[in-house]
Amino acid sequence: MAKPERAIAWPDRLLFIGCGNMAGAMLARWLDCGLPPERVTVVRPSGKAVAEGVNVLTQLDGPVAEGTLVLLGFKPQQLGEIAQTLAPLLSGATLFSILAGVPVAQLRDAFPQSGTILRCMPNLPVRIGKGVSILHGDVDASAVQREQTEALCAPLGLVEWLDDEALFDAATAVAGCGPAFVYRFIDALAAAGRNLGLGDAASARMALVMVEGAAISAAASDIPPDAMADAVASKGGMTREGLDVLDRPDGLAFLIDQTLRAARDRGVALAALSRKAD
């Protein structure tokens, strides 16, 4: 995993409220890139260790220190319950939320005494520095805070700011949920190869490495992916015959459109669930 070329100005204190798969992936990447573990505290009911040198608590025993960056990494449905006890302890703290479907206004209602609130939606490839972090800042987020947030997320991969928070669920459907959809495609490709008579292991290996190589090639090219597809599809050839199936009106584009809409709409529903739990 590549390390950032520039030195990172790590927060003096980083507090994780919850540390599930996504928050854990972010923390692991930051530690790999040089975040001093003694600056990190994780609050999780289980008290389970996270990484060597990282302090783990089952609950906060007092207000957080001034200047602490607080990452909210629990389930969005838990917002109301957790905020009841946590909000008084976060007075003035900068909140960095990765709660899916929970807008800044709702976070402000839950934590009225906090400082600036920033939203981030990462995806799991952040663990290897190849992820996407979608960011949106509170109205009071300063240019310096935006720069610091972007610098913090840079080791995770691509950073995309959204000025219009209404698009957050749509962006999450593409980048946040997207890896799972790609994994399904890889599995489907391997299964189709098996149906054509290839061995299970061989078909799985070819599908996985093919997708990896194609993604790297697309990322390194100035040519749009649709043009790259056409460039390798000779008229009357095997690739063109397969593309003609994918390009049907009810083919891949339609299926992906429906997939993203379903994911986006679930983000809206999650926000409604978290409001009911408040």
Same fold, 14-168 and 178-267: no
pLDDT tens, residue by residue, 33-74 = 999 999 999 999 999 999 999 999 999 989 999 889 999 999
Give residue 144's pLDDT band: very low, low, confident or very high (50, 70, 90): confident
Residue 151 burial by CB count (10 A; 0-12/13-18/19+): exposed, middle or buried? Answer: middle
Q: Is 78 helix (H, G, I), strand (E, B) or coil?
A: helix
pLDDT tens, residue by residue, 207-221 = 999 999 999 999 999
Which CATH superfamily hosts domain 14-168?
Answer: NAD(P)-binding Rossmann-like Domain (3.40.50.720)
Domain ranges (residues) in the chain? 14-168, 178-267
CA 21 to chain centre: 10
The structure tokens listed for 105 are 């206004």
Assess whether pLDDT exceeds 60 at residue 27: yes
Give percent of the chain with pLDDT exceeding 70.
96
Please provide the average confidence, as pLDDT, over all residues in the chain.
Answer: 92
- For residues 229-246, average pLDDT: 95
Task: Note the pLDDT of residue 273.
Answer: 72
Task: Note the pLDDT of residue 224.
Answer: 96
Task: Note the pLDDT of residue 139.
Answer: 78
Report in angstroms the alpha-carbon separations of 203 from 58, 69, 179, 217. Answer: 45, 46, 20, 21
Give residue 6's pLDDT band: very low, low, confident or very high (50, 70, 90): low
Assess whether pLDDT exceeds 70 at residue 189: yes
Assess whether pLDDT exceeds 60 at residue 149: yes
CATH 1.10.3730.10 fits domain 178-267: yes
Assess whether pLDDT exceeds 90 at residue 7: no
Assess whether pLDDT exceeds 60 at residue 260: yes
Buried b (16+ CB within 10 A) or exposed e, 168-182: bbbbbbbbbbbeeee
Rounded to two decimals, what is the model's pTM?
Answer: 0.86
